[in-house]
């Protein structure tokens, strides 16, 4: 089978390797669609992410869907929790002490033609969903977990700082949750256009904090009840802290390239802000699947580019340049 492996920063090579065999409790899945995620781009540009570094050539890809050998169309949860540690027993599998995650560390991911994966991590796709829809259940799951942490209320106000795919999904979820004001920021005009189409009531070009006064003038001095930072940039963190209302919440979902996040303590303290960090997702696949199958949430419109497995390096280049919204690789 064909496999795309990361050998170093910017160095993805195509290999021919044996097809994996499913062990007890696993299913062999023919991979049909893989989303290129922002965390994949960290691996590609930095040969690592945070304190995890590339030791051996790694197959990236954790947003994926495919077909089992038995013919069932499935989305695949990339996280394998041990179900035995204290965090798992407390109902927090995303914080599992022995979590195995596709395309991270020494666990190969989905940028290959076949994957053997635990059957309990497979979720059957609805007939109305295609494979790209299934791949996008993972970022939707992250957005759902972020929304759960934020607790946005009916009639409340929300800020989304960063309008990549997860940010745009949070915009949709905030609209669905009944937020009456949804403020979105991004550096790229085409992403702000998408944010407006998905439900943002106001959208502003991020300009290194210059936009903060403009936003405050537009929405009022109180600020937003929940601020979601979804880009991993310090300017977005600063804007989220500055524009959060007193007593509000700031949800940090972005992954900074420097592995450091800072904020002005006096501002956060005087406002009595609650800060929460998003660790992937938490039991969200069934809800994500239901939202997409019922067409309450639109993931399909996020897909702007598709590439075959042989063009994986080109796919990463497009994703890194932020030319569109979501890039999909189709090994099948």
Identify the helix (H) or strand (E) that includes residue 120. Answer: none
The parent domain of residue 15 ranges over 2-136+299-330
237 belongs to a structural domain? yes
The verdict on residue 282 lying in a domain is no
Residue 100 and residue 46 in one domain: yes
pLDDT in the model for residue 208:
85
In a domain, residue 289? The reply is no
Q: Do 126 and 148 lie in a common domain?
A: no
- CA 332 – CA 310 distance, rounded (Å): 11
162 & 248 share domain: yes
- Please give the model's pTM, rounded to 2 decimal places: 0.97
Question: For residue 228, what are the CA distances in angstroms to 89, 121, 169, 171, 225?
Answer: 28, 28, 12, 10, 10
**Long-range CB pairs of 172-176, under 8 A, 24+ apart, other chains included:** 172/198, 172/199, 172/297, 172/298, 173/143, 173/144, 173/147, 173/297, 174/147, 174/199, 175/199, 176/296, 176/297
Count of domains for the chain: 2
Concatenated DSSP letters for 262-281? ---HHHHHHHT-EEEE--S-
Q: Is residue 110 part of a domain?
A: yes
Tens-digit pLDDT profile for residues 120-173: 999 999 999 999 999 999 999 999 999 999 999 999 999 999 999 999 999 999
Q: Are residues 156 and 182 in the same domain?
A: yes
CATH (domain of 243): 3.40.50.720
- In angstroms, rounded to a whole number, what is the distance separating the alpha carbons of residues 272 and 267? 9
* CA dihedral over 51, 52, 55, 57, signed as positive or negative: negative
Tens-place pLDDT, residues 271-289: 999 999 999 999 999 999 9
Residues 226 and 242 in one domain: yes
Q: For 181-234, what is each residue's pLDDT tens digit? A: 999 999 999 999 999 999 999 999 999 888 999 999 998 878 999 999 999 999
Note the pLDDT tens digit of each residue in 23-65.
999 999 999 999 999 999 999 999 999 999 999 999 999 999 9
User: d(Cα 24, Cα 13) in Å, to the nearest integer?
Assistant: 31
Shared domain for 28 and 94, answered yes or no, is yes
User: Is residue 257 within 8 Å of 42, Cβ to Cβ?
Assistant: yes
On whether residue 285 sits in a domain, the answer given is no
Give pLDDT, residue 76.
Answer: 98
Same domain? For 193 and 128 the reply is: no
Query: In 3D, which of 184, 228, 65 has the Cα closest to residue 133?
Result: 65
The answer to whether residue 261 is domain-embedded is yes
Instruction: Output the pLDDT for position 261.
Output: 95
Q: Could you tell me if 91 and 61 lie in one domain?
A: yes
Q: Are 172 and 198 in contact (CB under 8 A)?
A: yes
**172 in the same domain as 126:** no
How far apart, in whole angstroms, are the C-alpha atoms of residue 244 and residue 227? 6
**Residues 61 and 155 grouped into a single domain:** no
For residues 168 and 188, is the Cβ–Cβ distance under 8 A? no
Q: Is residue 286 part of a domain?
A: no
Neighbours of 18 (CB within 10 A): 8
CA 56 from chain centre, in angstroms, equals 24
Query: What is the pLDDT at residue 209?
Result: 81
**pLDDT at 332 (0 to 100):** 83
Q: How far apart are CA 44 and CA 12, in angstroms?
A: 8
- For residue 94, give the CATH number of its domain: 3.90.180.10
- Same-domain status, 265 and 310: no
**Quick check: is 283 in a domain?**
no
pLDDT for the residue numbered 207? 93
Say if residue 161 is in the same domain as residue 234. Answer: yes
């Amino acid at each position: 089978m064909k496999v795309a492996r990361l050998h170093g920063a910017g160095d993805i090579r195509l290999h021919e390797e044996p097809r994996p065999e499913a062990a007890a409790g696993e299913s062999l899945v023919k991979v049909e669609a893989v989303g290129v995620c922002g965390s994949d781009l960290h691996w590609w540009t930095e040969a690592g992410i945070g304190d995890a570094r590339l030791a051996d050539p790694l197959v990236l890809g954790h947003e994926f869907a495919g077909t089992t050998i038995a013919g069932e169309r499935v989305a695949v949860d990339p996280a394998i929790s041990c179900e035995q540690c204290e965090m798992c027993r407390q109902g927090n599998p995303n914080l599992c002490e022995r979590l195995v995650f596709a395309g991270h560390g020494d666990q190969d991911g989905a940028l290959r033609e076949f994957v053997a994966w635990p059957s309990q991590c497979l979720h059957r796709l609805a007939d109305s969903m295609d494979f790209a829809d299934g791949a996008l259940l993972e970022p939707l799951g992250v957005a759902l977990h972020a929304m759960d942490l934020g607790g946005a209320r009916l009639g409340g106000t929300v800020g989304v700082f960063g309008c990549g795919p997860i940010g745009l999904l949070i915009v949709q979820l905030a609209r669905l949750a009944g937020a009456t004001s949804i403020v979105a920021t991004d550096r790229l005009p085409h992403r702000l256009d998408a944010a407006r189409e998905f439900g943002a009531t106001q959208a502003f070009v991020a300009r290194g904090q210059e936009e903060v006064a403009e936003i405050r003038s537009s929405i009022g001095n109180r600020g937003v009840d929940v601020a979601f930072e979804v880009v991993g940039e310090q300017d977005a963190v600063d804007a989220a802290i500055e524009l959060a209302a007193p007593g509000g919440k700031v949800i940090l979902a972005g992954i900074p390239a420097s592995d450091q996040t800072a904020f002005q303590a006096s501002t956060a303290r005087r406002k009595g802000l609650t800060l929460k960090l998003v660790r992937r997702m938490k039991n969200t696949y069934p809800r994500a699947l239901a939202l997409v199958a019922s067409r309450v949430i639109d993931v399909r419109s996020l897909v702007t580019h598709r590439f075959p497995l042989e063009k994986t390096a080109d796919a990463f280049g497009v994703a890194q340049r932020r030319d569109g919204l979501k890039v999909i690789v189709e090994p099948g």
